[in-house]
Structure 1
Amino acid sequence: MTETLSVIIFLSTLFILLGIGVWVGAALLTTAIVGMFLFTSAPIGDSMAVTIWGEQSSWTLTALPLFIWMGEILFRTKLSETLFKGLAPFLRKLPGGLLHVNVGASAVFAAISGSSAATVATVGKMSIPELRARDYPEKMIIGTLSGAGTLGLLIPPSISMIIFGVTVNESISKLFMAAMLPGLGLAIFFMIYIMGWSFLNRGTFKPKIDIIDTETLAKRIGDLLPVLILIGGVIGSIYSGIATATEAAALGVVGAILLSMIQRSFTIDGFLESIMGSVRTTAMIMLILMGAGFLSLAMGFTGIPRALAETIGAWELSPLMLILILTIFYIILGCFLDGLSSIVLTMAVIEPLVRAAGFDMLWFGVYLMIVVEMAQITPPIGFNLFVLQGMTGKDMAFISKASFPMFLVMCVFIVFLVLFPQMATWLPEVLSK
């Protein structure tokens, strides 16, 4: 009875605070303080100090602000223009034409940024006006960009993957390895959908086609080469074991600065803006981590995680049924919380269940990133939807409908990942030998 009352009070406090617009991190901290005050006799101040210090003092977390800074630097360069023009000649002949550039450019930028919203904003800045000028359907422009932008959460270096690794004490390097093939696989699934849509609409889909001469093609490939070298340097240094995730992030920052200089887009003002942008984003994430860590401690004092784990364990669910329930749970949760908050808020309860069911945590991390990606394109709290609304001027209903097919593609890919878990576990096993 006490545990039921605890759950009601915790959830009511949290959702009331979120509903009135309190920052997510502050709402989590306040909820934890209320719970500690009502249900425990432990010293609140001491418990908060110890927990927050423990959450923030992980060396692994130092990679986080560096990867964010790298993305901020590149966001202020000519990267979106370089990606679009460099990839267009290779992808325009596929069924669906330049719509594939949304997917390809998002995959490339995801391998630099690690942020879903930044991926959508950067790629969309160039692709939306270019595709509109060539008479591509607005619904497909927005839909493909919305779905492909979520690759920023999956393809390494992923900010959310770093948070997951720190939360469940798993190797960030191995998580990055596990996510690479599924990330590319999901991009291919998006492209298959575009080709299928193009085939079904071949009678009405007639965009304008560019003619590119050999000299222009060579220049565009040359512009794209430094970006690919930066990606190869960052990811390759991790996979080869030469550098840790933190060291690779530092390498990425230096590479991003050099790339901006090569593109002649480096300015002191832009550099300072990139620093402040990374500080703001890192502070937001750290506040959420602080709040989630303290809330997990408060819930632990009340016995909620243990009771919930025992309740679900008593259901004797098969591993597949557990994954199905978790998928539905995270999709519903994603309608109200952003992906990062969903991860840190639920891991205290979900991790023991997943380990007890025998799932590989590297595989589960990849699965979780894909499910959380869905939260980025599900209303009413879908960050990618808000970014696209600001960029296109379309209403939320139109953007949500345009994004729904990509949501279904991700659902299909989760089934594929469940049937073939080796997609996530093979690369870490091979490279760890």
Structure 2
Amino acid sequence: MITPIQGFSKLSKDEKINWIASNYTHNTQQTKEVLKVYWNSDAKLQKLHDEFIENTITNYYLPLGIAPNFLINNKLYAVPMAIEESSVVAAASKAAKFWLTRGGFKTTILGTEKVGQVHFIFKGDEKKLESFFTAIKPVLFNDSDSITTSMKKRGGGITNIELRNKTEDLEHYYQLHCTFETLDAMGANFINSCLEQFAKTLKREALAYTDFSDKEKNIEVVMSILSNYVPNCVVRAEVSCTVEELSEGNTEDAQHLAEKIVQAVNIAKIEPYRAVTHNKGIMNGIDAVILATGNDFRAIEAGVHAYASRNGKYSSLTNASVDNGVFKFWLDVPLALGTVGGLTNLHPLVKTALEILQKPSATELMQIVAATGLAQNFAAVRSLVTTGIQEGHMKMHLLNILNQLGATDSEKKTLTAHFKTNTVTHSAVVTAYNNLKND
């Protein structure tokens, strides 16, 4: 029976591995070897990785690929993507190449506002609270000057603070709803520091406010925290071409293809079961670039899916239309990203990825990420309404299956050639592999 351990964080990395391998795995030695083989041979670099998080035992890395030929606002990019899923990089690359000769991706920043809130309980007269807030609003700004000075010098800072009454949803619940401009920083630490200062000011000023009763003076701050829902930090990415350009076939085929793509998007707009998978495809592209550039994909995922539900029903993030012979495909997506601070200054591969992207600003990175998500969705929807998703996906998955089977390089070459003209399924690959071994 395994017993709880005290002081695990104080153990050396080797001691942590020994304890994990001995208590939780069947093959202790093999586990130790697997964990240690992923250590970086550069001790300085490994120490850097060890200090990113707590209780590190090894590195867990994803493939870093490149999707070339992204023409975004007439500027050509090669987009780094960190992801393990087969066919994602291939699909993004294929879509980028397709739109390269059709004007590329056009992107527009619709807003860069970020949000944080002080959540508090007030048991008293709402009108008196409103008067109190009006009186202390300048004080809230002034008390945060030491935090905001450097951000304001760069053109950012606190853009607004407002009092919101949420008592219809939860008894006695109010909030300070605060908005920020954080420029090239994602800004989480900056925002949270401002919010915590607002909370201190709120409580201090309430105790001194003479119009409050003793009960009203005791404002209870529940928490102060940024929000990952940023519906006003949004970028639009779009592509368009004539219907004839949509297909290499004849005009009739192109018109039918355009109409099917529009129908597929319309289905995702009204059917949540489809919309979730539809948007997951968009996030395949978005998350891969966010990971490669050291941003927080979990925050982005949470905010994006909330945005997809903003009208009361979960729906497609992309839109499509055919008007006057022109096919248009576009995406509005909230993306709170940074290109300074956090891992962007620490992780060597993140630095390299940002260099490959020509050292973008936060707003430029928003546009690159949105274009990649749109490309991914276009490739997926186009496949779905034509050949089906499995044909391309399974061909890309072929090497994974062959690696699981232990195929040699020579066997991989032979079987890859075989499946260029045959349908790839797991059972078909196993059968072909066994036949090859038995020949």
Q: TM-score, normalised by structure 1?
A: 0.23
Q: Which has the higher strand share?
A: 2
Higher relative contact order (CA 8 A, sep 6+): 1
When Rg is computed on C-alpha atoms for both structures, the one with the higher figure is 2
